[in-house]
Structures are given as structure tokens and as C-alpha cells.
């Protein structure tokens, strides 16, 4: 059952990469010197990526915990 732990870890890493990508996108938009409304629009476009990545990270960590308890 140790494969469950590795699958969960992989899912968590994918979520972490998505979170880092959303941070980079928002930081790039902030440095672009956009107006307040344009910056707000850019951040709103990144929110689905951020929430999806956070969901994947949580799902992966839950899978790791389940794998540890079954091992």
C-alpha cells in the first residue's frame, strides 16, 4: 500500500507547482504597472488556478495520510 503514499505525494507536488505558477502570474501582473482595474482583472483570472491547485494539494495530502494509515 505504499504506492498510495507516492501517488498522494505526486498529486501534492502538482498542486504545489500550480500554486507557484499562480504566484508568478500575479507577481508578473503587479510588476507590469497595470491600473487598479486591470490588476484586479488579472488577479481574478488567476483565482481558478489558485483554488484548483490548493484543492489538488489538499487532496494529495489526504491521500498520503490515508496511505500512511493503511501501511
pLDDT tens, position by position, 16-69: 999 999 999 999 999 998 899 999 999 999 999 999 999 999 999 999 999 999
Q: How far apart are CA 9 and CA 18, in angstroms?
A: 14
Return the minimum-mean-pLDDT range out of 1-5, 8-12, 54-58.
1-5
What is the pTM for the complete model shown? 0.87
pLDDT at 57: 96
Q: In the prediction, which pLDDT does 37 show?
A: 94
Confidence of residue 71 (pLDDT cuts 50, 70, 90): confident
Give the list of residues 6+ apart from residue 4 with CB closer than 8 angstroms, or none: 63, 64, 66, 67, 70, 71
Amino acid at each position: 500500500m505504499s504506492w498510495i503514499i507516492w501517488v498522494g505525494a505526486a498529486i501534492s507536488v502538482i498542486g504545489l507547482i500550480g500554486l507557484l505558477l499562480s504566484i508568478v502570474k500575479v507577481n508578473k501582473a503587479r510588476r507590469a504597472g497595470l491600473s487598479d482595474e486591470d490588476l484586479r482583472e488579472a488577479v481574478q483570472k488567476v483565482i481558478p488556478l489558485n483554488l484548483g491547485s490548493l484543492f489538488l494539494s489538499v487532496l494529495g495530502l489526504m491521500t498520503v495520510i490515508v496511505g500512511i494509515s493503511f501501511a
